[in-house]
Structure 1
């Protein structure tokens, strides 16, 4: 079965996903290792996604469960990771990779949606529940 679009066209979507993932991870103050722990995927997978590289000949192509695991760990809706999620799929992703804080869906709904996690959450073992946010300071408590 022939591919509908060449791999190089899909790479543009992978690039935007990689930029969104890196921006959200850094916005939350997480290392790749900590995000891997929280999401239950390997650190090398996080690195590959952020570099948009699956192997030498292909761009990153995460499974649906990987996207949801990472979104859960970052406490964002999956649409926050997905490029051009409000548009019809085009031959190339036309979305600006820097628009991570401007997801056109319903996120971010409040300032705590993009707040840095508190240090305990950043450094301790896997969390059993999401961090609570202090609305006054905009940080996790």
Structure 2
């Protein structure tokens, strides 16, 4: 099954997943920046239980799915594990993400849910996330083009 042959349920299920995710963030209180800031200041560790619970459910789901299903039901693609090296980009990116998380008091998923519960000023943080991601993508493309040009002149 290719990207064009995916199940007609693909987009509705993705939408439903986002709906459930947002509802879970809102009901747990994690869509409120003050709750996240309290976590970051070690005043309220409830976020650990929310993230831990989500990680356990996701881990069980993927373990069962990869063991008993050969392919993903909606895309038809084989379940595979994505291996990522632990390199300096992971450390640097994580540190930058942490600073942004601390300054804004919200992480990306919770930002959208926060908007959904009426926190409209969060749009400034969301705009900042988009601009930051765009700037990094632009920088990466420039680095790649510079490296390609250097390889072309030296080869």
Task: State whether TM-score is above 0.5.
Answer: no
Structure having the larger proportion of residues in helix: 2
Larger-Rg structure: 2
Give the TM-score category using the shorter length: under 0.3
Q: TM-score scaled to structure 1, two decimals?
A: 0.26
Q: TM-score scaled to structure 2, two decimals?
A: 0.24
